[in-house]
Structure 1
Amino acid sequence: MIIKKSLINKSIEYILQHIDEDISIEDVANHCNFSKYHFSRIFKEETGVSVYSFIKRIKIDQSAVSLKVEKDKTITDIGLNYGYSSSNYSSAFSKQHRISPIEFKKAINSTEIANPFCPSEHNTFKSFEHYDEKIVMRRLDDFKVIYERYIGDYREIGVNWYSFMERYKTYIKSDTLLIEKSYNDPSITQLDKCIYDLCITTYEDVELENIITIKGGKFAVYHFNGYVQDIFVTFQGIFNIWLPRSGYKMDERYGLGIYHDIDRKNNYVVMDLCIAIK
């Protein structure tokens, strides 16, 4: 079971790092040192989908993020970046999201968003000036972390966090950072298909199978001090309002949420929302 989980994590990591390339099932299988047939069987057993379907879904979801934040690029250019011709991209995008890329881009609301965590609430974005005033550029060091990867309902992230922390409580010290690494935008990807890593920083002498290094670098950092249910809207405001007008471009590294304090009783957190910047 551990070997299979490690294999799937290794393959997903490779796919995510090369998603804007023309990667094949053979490429992923070779990276994992498995035959195409054997690897494909294990991947589907563990994830419920074929390697091809998984790659296709990730490509379309990532392209939707590009449509959202890269306002200066045409739909055709974004499709080409992910290996699609203009007609093929529109067809594949529409099949996955039940809306065409043109309609998707038009529908992006720059003032408010539906919150999947609090669907009954009205969620309005702040102004560009609000985000710009609070965001600072920082160069973060690499993080050595103990991690677990989750593919499933993003609404269960709180429950997963507490279970994860309980499993690794002996490794949590006073200076340990809790880090969430997100691979999907939950306003785009179906909530039950979101991929994210839950991590705690650790020391060089810790030896576990599930240790990786999160690459540091330049990040736009928004210091968040508020209720858990407001994290989603704040992050979306940074993407929808601040990023397109900021003059900065997203890097291929993925976003991080770095928690500094968690008040579980009141659902209140102090954390940094970090977007990788070129």
Structure 2
Amino acid sequence: MQYLHALETAIIYIEAHLDEDIGLEDVARETGYSYYHMTRLFKSAVGETVGSYINKRRLSNAAKELLYTENRIIDIAIYNGYESSEAFSRAFKDIYRISPLEYRKNKHDFFIGSKKGLNIDMLKHITNSITLEPTIANFKETKIVGIRGEVALKGNGLSCLWEQFHRIYAAIPHTVPNRRDFCVCETNQTTYKKNGDAIYSEMIGTEVDSFEEMPDFVVNKTVKPGKYAVFTHMGSLANLEKTYDYIWGTWSLSTKEELDNREDFELYTEQFYSMDNPDNRIKIYIPVC
């Protein structure tokens, strides 16, 4: 896929010049593609325009500076390519829904708006392992039973939690035919760390038709019904974070769908074979209004 080299060149150039006044013309010139072809290539492969990517990367960098430095807001604005604090504040509020000053006071890092820099691995993942545009579906209320644990965004705690779940699965009564397992991200219990990591609560469970007579070592949860944007992640669980990076760093910032405050979750069916299987198909449900 020759175009991946052009995209990698474009990303490397953008990341090296984020603090400069660059645009699509500069990126196209660097890659040797025409303005028109770079526009089409970048949008179809990455899911957004060059200008959108540049703007969101600058704002994501600025958000980190607001939280983890004492630099003045005007200095942060200028360093990240904005001519004034007013222009920076308008652009920031478009993405984060609050002003830079409020964001700094709240001391809350967000998944939404967290636009990480791309690399060739992420470009390949976006191209081959994600449905860039989700389907919109209604999901029925569902009872699940399983275990809960804390997981670090940058650690491997999730795989350990799955191993624990598989050890106790046989002891769960009232499971339904055509087994469906769930991994629910309990975002209201997330703690953000100064190093950029996040500790959040995950519940892994399987679908049941009753909560009666459950053993003491399991927990119950009802997955809320409603409308969801449904993505398909293809491949190993090790790359699942990359899919979420795309969802929260690209799709959520450009979609016309309004995000809802229900919890998002992953759905595992017979198309999930093992933690590292490249043929896995995992559905990710993002709540929308």
Match of 1:276 in 2: 287
Match of 1:156 in 2: 157
Aligned match for 2:93, one of 65, 74, 84: 74
Q: 2:186·2:200 contact (CA, 8 Å) conserved in 1? A: yes
Match of 1:258 in 2: 267
Of 245-254 and 196-205, deviating more is 196-205
Q: Provide the secondary structure at the position in 1 that maps to 2:235.
A: strand
Q: Is 1:211 the counterpart of 2:213 in the alignment?
A: no
Q: Distance in 2 between matches of 1:234 and 1:136?
A: 15
Match of 1:146 in 2: 145
Match of 2:53 in 1: none
Q: Provide the secondary structure at the position in 2 that maps to 1:74.
A: helix
Letter in 2 for 1:150: G
From the superposition, tell whether residues 142 and 73 of structure 1 become closer, same or farther in structure 2 (CA, over 3 Å). farther
Q: 2:149·2:201 contact (CA, 8 Å) conserved in 1? A: yes
Q: Distance in 2 between matches of 1:164 and 1:77?
A: 36
Q: Distance in 2 between matches of 1:76 and 1:259?
A: 31
Match of 1:19 in 2: none
Q: Distance in 2 between matches of 1:177 and 1:76?
A: 35
1:109-149 superposed Cα distances (whole Å, 9 cap, x missing partner)? 4x627xxxxxxx8423637xx7454x110000011010322
Match of 1:126 in 2: 126
Which stretches in structure 2 are left out of the alignment for 5+ residues?
Answer: 1-66, 68-89
Post-superposition offset of 1:174: 4.5
Post-superposition offset of 1:78: 3.7
Q: Provide the secondary structure at the position in 2 that maps to 1:258.
A: strand
Q: Distance in 1 between matches of 2:96 and 2:229?
A: 25
Which stretches in structure 1 are left out of the alignment for 5+ residues?
Answer: 1-63, 65-70, 81-85, 114-120
Q: Distance in 2 between matches of 1:192 and 1:236?
A: 14
Post-superposition offset of 1:206: 3.8
Q: Provide the secondary structure at the position in 2 that maps to 1:254.
A: coil
Q: 1:178·1:259 contact (CA, 8 Å) conserved in 2? A: yes
Q: 2:150·2:157 contact (CA, 8 Å) conserved in 1? A: no
From the superposition, tell whether residues 162 and 237 of structure 1 become closer, same or farther in structure 2 (CA, over 3 Å). same
Q: 2:92·2:98 contact (CA, 8 Å) conserved in 1? A: no
From the superposition, tell whether residues 265 and 180 of structure 1 become closer, same or farther in structure 2 (CA, over 3 Å). closer
From the superposition, tell whether residues 88 and 177 of structure 1 become closer, same or farther in structure 2 (CA, over 3 Å). same
Q: 2:235·2:276 contact (CA, 8 Å) conserved in 1? A: no
Q: 2:145·2:221 contact (CA, 8 Å) conserved in 1? A: yes
Match of 1:223 in 2: 232
Q: 2:135·2:231 contact (CA, 8 Å) conserved in 1? A: yes
Larger Rg: 2
After TM superposition, the structure 1 = structure 2 runs for residues 178-197 of structure 1, keeping only pairs within 5 Å, are 178-184=181-187, 191=197, 193-197=199-203
What percent of counterpart residues are identical? 12
Post-superposition offset of 1:152: 3.7
Q: How many residues align?
A: 186
Match of 1:166 in 2: 167
From the superposition, tell whether residues 206 and 168 of structure 1 become closer, same or farther in structure 2 (CA, over 3 Å). farther
Match of 1:136 in 2: 135
Q: TM-score, normalised by structure 2?
A: 0.52
Post-superposition offset of 1:222: 1.2
Match of 2:115 in 1: 108
